[in-house]
């Protein structure tokens, strides 16, 4: 996948991400909270993780885990520390857990790795950002999935009024919120072929604990709508949004988000805002095959 980049914007995103990568590598033994890393990069904590995954091709957690394993490999080759001590340094509480993780990454056990003369030919994969003992870091090419071509348009959304039911928990379990919303709207004559259904997405499921994820199952209504019971009313303020179409199962929405935030955004000359993203569902999941589902993602942008 490739996008025509605005050089100054792309370079700015690269430099900001490099600051994060350096910070991670030089503080591998720390907690490395996402809010802290977002501050280092001068990105909004709300969208930082998606930008990171999209540009690096792995989550922050995966990146830290990989670098700790790679540091462990360096220690096995260049120090006399025991495998158990190397495992503790890598953040593993047991020799067995460390051995499993190390073998999954390097293709052999730590002891086998230590005795293989350090040729490196056995490595299963070349690291995107390899560990260096001096804590330094080379520049990196933002990841390019080589996949589908992403069509993104910047649209100005007028304020919209939404009737909604708040769901707290995994996105996959939001069906009951939709049922409550539709049971309320149906008798009011507000359900029909022209009803616009919208998901208001506040949290990234790869970051927020699944039982804390906030999501509003919503439908567009007019200003006169009166909330009642569990059904609330809110107004989404207008503004610029980056809009792209996700085709396929909802379970793969994160792939489109990663490409949008981590690949298109750095090349766009724009920055995302802290407003929630919106998902407009264009067909009925109960009557449509998962591969044919259409979801129009609206990612909020800061004003120019």
What DSSP string runs through 96-123?
Answer: HHHHHHHHHHHSS-HHHHHTSTT--TT-
Instruction: Identify the pLDDT of residue 134.
Output: 52
pLDDT band of 121, cuts 50, 70, 90:
very low
Q: Give all strands (DSSP E) within the chain, no chain letters.
A: 153-157, 160-168, 197-201, 214-221, 232-236, 239-247, 277-281, 294-300
The answer to whether 278 touches 236, Cβ cutoff 8 Å, is: yes
User: Per the structure block, which two tokens stand in for 263?
Assistant: 């690949």
The answer to whether 215 touches 202, Cβ cutoff 8 Å, is: yes
Residue 16 predicted with pLDDT over 70: yes
Each residue's pLDDT tens digit, 184-209: 999 999 999 999 999 999 988 877 88
Average pLDDT, the chain: 84
> Could you give the CA distance from residue 278 to residue 188 in angstroms, rounded to a whole number?
25
Across the range 20-30, mean pLDDT stands at 88
Instruction: Identify the pLDDT of residue 141.
Output: 52
Instruction: Identify the pLDDT of residue 125.
Output: 35
> Could you give the CA distance from residue 45 to residue 89 in angstroms, rounded to a whole number?
28
DSSP class of 275: S
Instruction: Identify the pLDDT of residue 5.
Output: 47
> Could you give the CA distance from residue 126 to residue 124 in angstroms, rounded to a whole number?
7
- Which strands, in side-by-side order, build the sheet including 294-300? 153-157, 239-247, 294-300, 277-281, 197-201, 214-221, 160-168, 232-236
Residue 96 predicted with pLDDT over 80: yes
Each residue's pLDDT tens digit, 128-172: 345 555 545 555 555 554 444 579 999 999 999 999 999 999 999
The answer to whether 277 touches 49, Cβ cutoff 8 Å, is: no
pLDDT band of 1, cuts 50, 70, 90:
very low
pLDDT band of 126, cuts 50, 70, 90:
very low
User: What burial class does residue 231 get, using C-beta atoms within 10 Å of its C-beta: 0-12 exposed, 13-18 middle, 19+ buried?
Assistant: buried
> Could you give the CA distance from residue 229 to residue 231 in angstroms, rounded to a whole number?
5
The answer to whether 51 touches 261, Cβ cutoff 8 Å, is: yes
Q: Which residues contact 130 (CB under 8 A, 6 or more apart)?
A: 70
Determine what percent of the chain is predicted with pLDDT higher than 90.
43
Q: How many CA atoms lie within 13 A of 163 on its CB side?
A: 27
């Amino acid at each position: 996948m490739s996008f025509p980049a605005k050089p100054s914007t792309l370079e700015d995103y690269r430099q900001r991400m490099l600051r994060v990568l350096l910070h991670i590598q030089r503080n591998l033994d720390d907690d490395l909270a996402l809010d802290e890393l977002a501050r280092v990069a001068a990105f909004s904590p709300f969208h930082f993780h998606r930008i990171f995954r999209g540009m690096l091709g792995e989550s922050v957690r995966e990146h830290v885990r990989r670098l700790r394993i790679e540091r462990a490999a360096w220690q096995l080759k260049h120090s006399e520390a025991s495998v158990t001590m190397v495992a503790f340094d890598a953040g593993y509480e047991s020799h067995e857990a460390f051995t499993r993780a190390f073998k999954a990454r390097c293709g052999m056990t730590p002891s086998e790795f230590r005795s293989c003369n350090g040729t490196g030919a056995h490595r299963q994969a070349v690291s995107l950002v390899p560990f260096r003992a001096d804590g330094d870091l080379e520049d990196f090419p933002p990841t390019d999935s080589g996949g589908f071509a992403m069509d993104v348009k910047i649209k100005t959304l007028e304020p919209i009024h939404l009737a909604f039911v708040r769901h707290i928990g995994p996105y996959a379990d939001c069906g009951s919120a939709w049922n409550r919303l539709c049971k309320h709207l149906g008798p009011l004559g507000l359900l029909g072929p022209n009803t616009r259904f919208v998901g208001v997405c506040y949290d990234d499921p790869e970051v927020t604990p699944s039982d804390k994820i906030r999501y509003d199952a919503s439908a567009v209504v007019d200003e006169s709508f009166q909330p009642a019971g569990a059904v609330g009313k809110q107004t989404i303020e207008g503004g610029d949004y980056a809009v792209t179409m996700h085709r396929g199962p909802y379970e793969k929405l994160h792939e489109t988000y990663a490409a949008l935030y981590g690949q298109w955004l750095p090349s766009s000359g724009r920055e995302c805002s802290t407003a929630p993203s919106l998902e407009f569902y264009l067909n009925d999941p109960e009557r449509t095959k998962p591969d044919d589902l259409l979801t129009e993602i609206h990612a909020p942008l800061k004003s120019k």
